[in-house]
Amino acid sequence: MAVSFLNLLDKFRPHKLYRPSPLMGISQFVVLALFWFGIIYGATATATILFVKFIPELLLKFNLDPLAEIIYYLAPLVAVMVLIPANATFLVLNERKILALLTVRCGPNRVGPNGFLQTVADAVKLLFKEDITPKGADKLLFTLAPVIFFGPTTVAFIPILSAATNNFGPFASCDLSIGILFIMAVSSIPVLGLVLGGWASSNKYSLIGGLRSAAQSISYEIPMVLTVISMIVLTGSMNLKEIADGQTGGILNWNLLAAGNLPLLLHLFPLGKNSLVGLYGLVLLAVCFILFFMFLISACAEVNRIPFDLPEAESELVSGYNTEFTGMKFALFFLAEYTALFIICCLASILFLGGGHLPVSTGTERTLLASLANTKFGNVSWLVPSIVLMLKAYALIFVSVWVRATLPRLRYDQLMTFSWKFLIPLSLLNIFVVAILVSIAPW
């Protein structure tokens, strides 16, 4: 009798009742992602249009020209302030959903249809949680640490707006001739917030997490900067828009695929007097692939993503540098982490994957943008490059989540050894090879 009862209960196990089929889970995730993308992009585009067109036009009717001009040039800042919290909210849910699919679990599925409001509920919870400062903590630095971590991340996103909008209207002011240098410089500041947060918490685990973060940032910032320098030498520019514009004309012109020199490989077959040209294209292709993967690996370590999340190692440090933080201070750390990941993926897309340009011929793209430049809503051609860049960035974010679901956390000695004994020597070698390839280019 007891055995029969247990067999009956086995038929109604929760995982059999609630776990959807893989195809159903993927379909639900696609619908959720499209819904959230519509919210994020719609909110950002609406805020941009309001500050670029409608509010200035309204102010001009009342002869408030100086105020209208100020509002007009505030559009990039407003776009960033709308995009960052909405995007981070989606990325948290996106990661939890993808991890659930990859590990055959349900994931968030209670708050809202298919759990699409779960991170909104989490944000509201953090907003109203008590803000606690530990006994013995340095109150000033404990409060400033999340701000120092979050602030530069917001500023670092601004140069990307020029490439994302094709220098539309006020976004042309974001077009810096040293855009990459600006992002690298500003992105080196947030680690100070982690160190300060760990030290000011008066907690030994937080202090160890902060020190780990500083050492890891120094170690992996070197190969990442050296990789970026190699791309600057290869493209001849530090301007993000110029680098993206140099990759128009389809996938074959992407920097990932030998910076538009992929057809040189045809000279390898059959072997003849132009075989050296083909060999040049083959070496350039290999170097570009190595640079791409080195940039992604170094960037993942810079933003503390698994398998490089040693500053937050829960099994060793409880939660690392943010152990003692609660409420909105804790939320700021989360916002900054996911925003930094998004910025790194946008930068990788611009450097290697054509930026905001469509994978079609230059003529086709120009025709499409020209048709969108004169609509009844005005010039909306900036919608295409911004959507394309975001989708490429989301694709790279998916890869980072996939890596998190696949790889275990490294030991700390392995983390340091990998950078100092492998990545840094290889990045120095890459600069040397790229300089030679550029100097002996066959064109």
Residue 271 is predicted with a pLDDT of 60
Residue 224 falls inside a structural domain: yes
User: How many residues in the chain?
Assistant: 443
Q: Which residue has the higher pLDDT, 75 or 310?
A: 75
Cα–Cα distance, 19 to 24 (Å, whole number): 10
Residues 299 and 409 occupy one common structural domain: yes
Please determine, for residue 177, whether its predicted confidence score (pLDDT) is greater than 60.
Answer: yes
Cα–Cα distance, 174 to 143 (Å, whole number): 30
Least confident among 174-178, 251-255, 315-319, 349-353: 315-319
Residues 354 and 241 occupy one common structural domain: yes
Residue 151 falls inside a structural domain: yes
- For the chain, the three-class secondary structure string (H helix, E strand, C coil) is CHHHHHHHHHCCCHHHHHCCCHHHHHHHHHHHHHHHHHHHHHHHHHHHHHHHHHHHHHHHHCCCHHHHHHHHHCHHHHHHHHHHHHHHHHHHHHHHHHHHHHCCCCCCCCCCHHHCCHHHHHHHHHHHCCCCCCCCCCHHHHHHHHHHHHHHHHHHCCCHHHHHHCCCHHHHHHCCCCHHHHHHHHHCCHHHHHHHHHHHCCCHHHHHHHHHHHHHHHHHHHHHHHHHHHHHHHHCCCCHHHHHHCCCCCHHHCHHHHHHCHHHHHHHCCCCCCHHHHHHHHHHHHHHHHHHHHHHHHHHHHCCCCCCCHHHCHHHHCCHHHCCCCHHHHHHHHHHHHHHHHHHHHHHHHHHCCCCCCCCCHHHHHHHHHHHHCECCECCCCHHHHHHHHHHHHHHHHHHHHHHHHCCCCCHHHHHHHHHHHHHHHHHHHHHHHHHHHHCCCC
Please determine, for residue 6, whether its predicted confidence score (pLDDT) is greater than 50.
Answer: no
Residue 428 is predicted with a pLDDT of 92
Residues 95 and 143 occupy one common structural domain: no
Residue 227's pLDDT band (cuts 50, 70, 90): very high
Least confident among 72-76, 126-130, 219-223, 383-387: 126-130
- pLDDT, the chain, mean: 84
Residues 6+ apart with CB under 8 A from 99: 105, 107, 401, 404, 405
CA torsion 56-57-62-63 (nearest 10°) is 70
Residues 217 and 101 occupy one common structural domain: no
Q: Could you give the C-alpha distances from 380 to 81, 174, 214, 359, 377, in angstroms and in order?
A: 21, 18, 43, 20, 7
Residues 138 and 38 occupy one common structural domain: no
**For the packed helices 139-156 and 179-187, what is the interaxial angle rounded to 10 degrees?**
160
Please determine, for residue 309, whether its predicted confidence score (pLDDT) is greater than 90.
Answer: no
Residues 96 and 197 occupy one common structural domain: no
The domain boundary, picked from 91, 114, 137, lies at 114
Count of C-beta atoms within a 10 Å radius of residue 263: 11
Residues 193 and 69 occupy one common structural domain: no
The distance from CA 48 to its chain's CA centroid, rounded to whole angstroms, is 21
Q: What letter represents residue 361's amino acid? A: S
Domain that holds residue 100: 24-114
Residue 285 falls inside a structural domain: yes
Residues 104 and 139 occupy one common structural domain: no
Cα–Cα distance, 431 to 222 (Å, whole number): 13
**Residues 92-112, mean pLDDT to the nearest whole number:** 85
Residue 19's pLDDT band (cuts 50, 70, 90): low
Residue 393's pLDDT band (cuts 50, 70, 90): very high
Tell me the percentage of the chain whose pLDDT exceeds 90.
16
Residue with tokens 């907003």: 127
Residue 7 falls inside a structural domain: no
**Residues 336-359, mean pLDDT to the nearest whole number:** 90
The domain boundary, picked from 114, 147, 177, lies at 114
Please determine, for residue 16, whether its predicted confidence score (pLDDT) is greater than 50.
Answer: no
CA neighbours within 13 Å on the CB side: how many for 219? 24
Residue 214 is predicted with a pLDDT of 83
What is the largest distance, in Å, between two alpha-carbon atoms of the chain?
A: 87
Which of 322, 340, 332, 319 lies closest to 397, judged by CA? 340
Residues 104 and 147 occupy one common structural domain: no
Do residues 198 and 399 lie in contact, with contact meaning Cβ atoms separated by under 8 Å? no
Please determine, for residue 35, whether its predicted confidence score (pLDDT) is greater than 70.
Answer: yes
- pLDDT tens digits, 329-345: 888 888 888 888 999 99
Residue 53 falls inside a structural domain: yes
Residue 17 is predicted with a pLDDT of 42
Residue 2 falls inside a structural domain: no
Residue 122 falls inside a structural domain: no
Structure-token pair, residue 399 = 């890869």
**Residues 365-390, mean pLDDT to the nearest whole number:** 82
Query: How many distinct structural domains can be found in the chain?
Result: 2
Residue with tokens 């909104």: 120
Cα–Cα distance, 338 to 200 (Å, whole number): 23
Residues 290 and 347 occupy one common structural domain: yes
Residues 377 and 318 occupy one common structural domain: yes
Residue 63 falls inside a structural domain: yes
Please determine, for residue 9, whether its predicted confidence score (pLDDT) is greater than 50.
Answer: no
Structure-token pair, residue 142 = 């404990």
Cα–Cα distance, 403 to 307 (Å, whole number): 8
Residues 204 and 316 occupy one common structural domain: yes
Indicate whether this model's pTM tops 0.95: no
Q: Which residue has the higher pLDDT, 34 or 25?
A: 34
Which of 122, 89, 156, 93 lies closest to 302, judged by CA? 156
The domain boundary, picked from 60, 82, 114, lies at 114
Residue with tokens 């202090």: 207
